[in-house]
């Protein structure tokens, strides 16, 4: 059975007996329940028009912000080539700690950030974080030592915890499960664009000749200003939810909500539900995705090491800065093709992820065994280790697609991104001075992580497929067929039936829910 099908199980079975009518508080149901009530037919033409309108207003902003946030993360790696290590007297361990402290802060604030994203308007909360983040980025230019860089790194990690989590929530609010796979790919491939643009900004910064400011300081100021402008754009232009999106008419908002009814995940619920938190913690797939996230991001320490590694092959600072643009091109091409392939082939997310990790293993092998004098071959080996990023992109969209219940979704997002932080925080410590220049130990560890990730993706697919098969054999569950809320219109109180899809049920509570593979 195709879990992406628009036909619900209720359409395929005639209930033998209707359950008693149950009244619930509006706090218990999804925010979309009061906006969309009833079983009106969805006009495909109108739905397509509304989707294009949503794309036009939110995808560019999401892409810009994800470009900005990744560019800001990689400024440390670019600044290493531009002189920050010498100017602030950093040792190898101190430089590694700057990469780690960012993710430790990210980890510490990830769950509070997710709770805030549930409690407050998503766009406004992200805007505040982006603003603080911009100020911290500009403050790098004033740092003279390791302690100062450590403090601003802590602030950057704290603020960035809101971005990916917020984007996952927004994507699930506005798009169907199949659409989410491609849209998550759209904004995630901006990481590659960031590498290209950062390379050119770094190249330009090298040519800024001022007595009081060094090139790495100009890099921080330029990227900080761009981040500040992005914060303003998000405050005024980015929507919090399809139920109040400024660019949609009331009728279009209802269509936007009806479009995602097929997800059986609703839009959002602003009230924290303890039982959904507990369910998220006891759900095996939560921890399978978390383990994948941790292991897949140990190799992400290459973000801050890549330019140092390329420089060690014998390339000049100018050459290294420009060659970093190729990493971005590789990432853009592979993420684009990967998400398109996964969206086109039904139930193929795990298989596509595994396929795209094979080049990473090849790159690890070549960079370990090619002759050191073959700097072009070594350079290509490093480049192809960026292909596997597609696997993490698909995991992000996959987890969002197989998790229902707003508190549960917030919780599993927090756990996945916390695991992401653990992997990123541990990774930098592989790169010790005694392993240079070949870095055999770090590259072997990276190869092992990729093998484990490939196995985990297949294990997740097996687990979800087995759960779908079990549910196919269960009798139809009518427990939530007659649930209503009360609303008052023109002084008259009426009882209105709420569809199961908008009851803020979890994927385990709703036995009609089928996991996409």
Give the model's confidence band at 490: pLDDT under 50 very low, under 70 low, under 90 confident, else very high: low
Of how many residues is the chain composed?
517
Predicted confidence (pLDDT) per residue in 370-379, tens digit:
888 888 888 8
What pLDDT is attached to residue 428? 76
**pTM of this prediction exceeds 0.85:** no
The listed range with the strongest mean pLDDT (42-46, 275-279, 506-510) is 275-279
Using alpha carbons, select from 160, 291, 289, 299 the residue that is nearest to residue 230. 160
**Which residues have CB under 8 Å from 223's CB, separation 6+?**
68, 71, 72, 75, 137, 198, 201
Residue 425 or residue 286, greater confidence = 286
Give the model's confidence band at 17: pLDDT under 50 very low, under 70 low, under 90 confident, else very high: very low
User: Among 112-121, 156-165, 205-214, 482-491, which stretch is predicted with the lowest mean pLDDT?
Assistant: 482-491
Using alpha carbons, select from 263, 236, 241, 61 the residue that is nearest to residue 163. 61
Predicted confidence (pLDDT) per residue in 92-120, tens digit:
788 778 877 888 888 888 888 888 888 88
What pLDDT is attached to residue 330? 84
User: Among 141-150, 359-368, 447-456, 492-501, which stretch is predicted with the lowest mean pLDDT?
Assistant: 492-501
What pLDDT is attached to residue 28? 53
Dist CA 309 CA 379 (whole Å): 9
Q: Check pLDDT > 70 for residue 284.
A: yes
Residue 392 in 3-state DSSP?
A: helix
What pLDDT is attached to residue 18? 46
Q: What are phi and psi of 82, to 5 degrees?
A: -90, 0
Dist CA 17 CA 20 (whole Å): 9
Dist CA 201 CA 204 (whole Å): 5
Predicted confidence (pLDDT) per residue in 443-470, tens digit:
889 899 999 999 999 999 999 999 999 9
Confirm if 418 and 111 have CB atoms less than 8 A apart. Answer: yes
**In the predicted model, what is the mean pLDDT of the chain?**
80
Residue 96 or residue 15, greater confidence = 96
| 486 beta partners | 495
Predicted confidence (pLDDT) per residue in 216-257, tens digit:
788 888 888 999 999 999 999 999 888 888 898 888 888 888
């Amino acid at each position: 059975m195709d879990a992406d099908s628009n036909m619900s199980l209720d359409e395929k079975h005639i209930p033998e007996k209707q359950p008693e009518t149950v009244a619930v508080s509006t706090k218990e149901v999804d925010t979309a329940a009061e906006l969309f009530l009833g079983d009106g037919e969805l006009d495909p033409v109108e739905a397509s028009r509304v989707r294009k309108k949503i794309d036009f207003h939110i995808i560019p902003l999401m892409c810009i912000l994800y470009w900005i946030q990744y560019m800001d993360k990689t400024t440390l790696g670019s600044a290493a080539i531009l002189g920050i290590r010498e100017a602030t007297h950093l040792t190898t361990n101190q430089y590694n700690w700057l990469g780690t402290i960012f993710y430790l802060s990210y980890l510490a604030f990830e769950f509070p950030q997710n709770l805030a994203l549930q409690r407050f308007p998503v766009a406004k909360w992200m805007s505040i974080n982006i603003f603080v983040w911009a100020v911290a980025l500009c403050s790098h230019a004033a740092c003279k030592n390791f302690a100062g860089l450590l403090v601003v790194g802590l602030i950057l990690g704290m603020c960035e915890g809101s971005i990916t989590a917020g984007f996952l929530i927004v994507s699930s609010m506005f798009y169907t499960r199949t659409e989410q796979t491609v849209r998550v790919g759209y904004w995630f491939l901006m990481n590659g664009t960031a590498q290209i643009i950062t390379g050119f900004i770094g190249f330009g910064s090298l040519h800024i000749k001022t007595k009081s400011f060094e090139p790495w300081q100009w890099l921080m100021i330029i990227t900080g200003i761009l981040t500040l402008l992005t914060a303003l754009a998000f405050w005024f232009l980015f929507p919090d939810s399809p139920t109040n999106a400024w660019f949609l008419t009331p009728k279009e908002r209802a269509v936007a909500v009806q479009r995602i009814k097929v997800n059986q995940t609703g839009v959002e619920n602003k009230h924290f539900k303890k039982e959904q938190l507990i369910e998220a913690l006891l759900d095996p797939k939560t921890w399978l995705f978390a383990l994948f996230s941790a292991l897949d991001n140990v190799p992400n320490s290459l973000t801050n090491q890549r330019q140092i590694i390329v420089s060690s092959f014998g390339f000049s600072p100018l050459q290294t800065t420009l060659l970093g643009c190729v990493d971005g091109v590789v990432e853009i091409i592979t993420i684009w093709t990967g998400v398109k392939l996964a969206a086109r082939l039904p139930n193929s997310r795990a298989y596509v992820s595994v396929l795209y990790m094979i080049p990473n293993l090849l790159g690890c092998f070549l960079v370990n065994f090619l002759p050191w004098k073959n700097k072009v071959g070594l350079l290509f080996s490093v480049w192809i280790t960026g292909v596997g990023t597609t696997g993490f992109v698909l995991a992000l969209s996959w987890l969002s697609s197989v998790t229902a219940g707003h508190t549960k979704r917030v919780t599993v997002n927090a756990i996945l991104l916390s695991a992401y932080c653990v992997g990123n925080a541990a990774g930098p410590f592989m790169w010790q001075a005694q392993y240079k220049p070949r870095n055999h130990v770090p590259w072997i560890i990276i190869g092992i992580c990729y093998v484990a990730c490939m196995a985990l993706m297949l294990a997740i697919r097996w687990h979800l497929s087995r759960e779908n098969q079990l549910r196919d054999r269960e009798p139809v569950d009518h427990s939530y067929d007659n649930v209503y809320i009360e609303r008052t219109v023109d002084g008259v109180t009426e009882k209105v039936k709420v569809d199961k899809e908008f009851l803020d049920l979890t994927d385990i509570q709703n036995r009609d829910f089928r996991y996409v593979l």
